[in-house]
Amino acid sequence: MKIDLQNIGRRFNREWIFRAVNYRFEAGKCYAILGPNGSGKSTLLKVIVGNLTPSEGSITYENTQGTIAVEDIFAQTAIATPYVELIEEFTLREQIQFHFKFKNYLPGFSENSILEILGLKQALDKPIRFFSSGMKQRVKLVLACCSDATIVLLDEPTSNLDLAGEAWYLALIERTRSPQRIFIICSNQPKEYSFCEHQINVIDFKK
């Protein structure tokens, strides 16, 4: 899988958030999108995944079978962000089963193994609205990382996690990264992207 950004720019009204972004993401690598709060990290992530159309430039998605249309890229992606919420009326069991009606499990994973990773078997039939913020964050992360998606996008992945949760997150990344996958992490905290070999700072594309 490759994602090519060609002269990408995005603006809101007359204000450019970023411009002239030329970059290639490749399978088997982990990338960190950096910048202070409000700099446009999440906006760039939404553009990369096709949730926002760039104001200028183009994006090309390509795998071994050829070019993938932007409207089909959803099947290749999994995402965990503060603005994508869980369905709080669901129990944990229902949330997992609902999610995996739309995504396949990453090879080697199953509902049982996901529950084991989460360590929340005792909460299997508990409505998610009664989960703590840290429990909800773990669920978001495990659903994204354990989906059979070649592009995994995580925005502020350790928000609401304590020190034990942060260590759990790094172990989850290590367990689920592979030569076939692209991980893209939006962050301004080094503990969240210490494993990333490549970094992009949104500030470098302000004009």
Report field, pTM of the whole predicted structure over 0.85: yes
For residue range 132-143, list pLDDT tens digits in order.
Answer: 999 999 999 999
For residue range 149-167, list pLDDT tens digits in order.
Answer: 999 999 999 999 999 999 9
Residue 1, CA distances (Å) to 27, 34, 66, 170, 204 in order: 5, 22, 9, 23, 25
Q: According to the model, what pLDDT value does residue 207 have?
A: 65
Could you give the 3-state DSSP secondary structure of residue 145? helix
Task: Tell me which residue range forms the domain holding 60.
Answer: 2-205
What percentage of residues in the chain have a pLDDT greater than 70? 100
At 180, which CATH number?
3.40.50.300
Residue 207: both structure tokens together: 């004009």
| Structural domains in the chain (count) | 1
Q: What is the mean pLDDT of residues 27-36?
A: 95
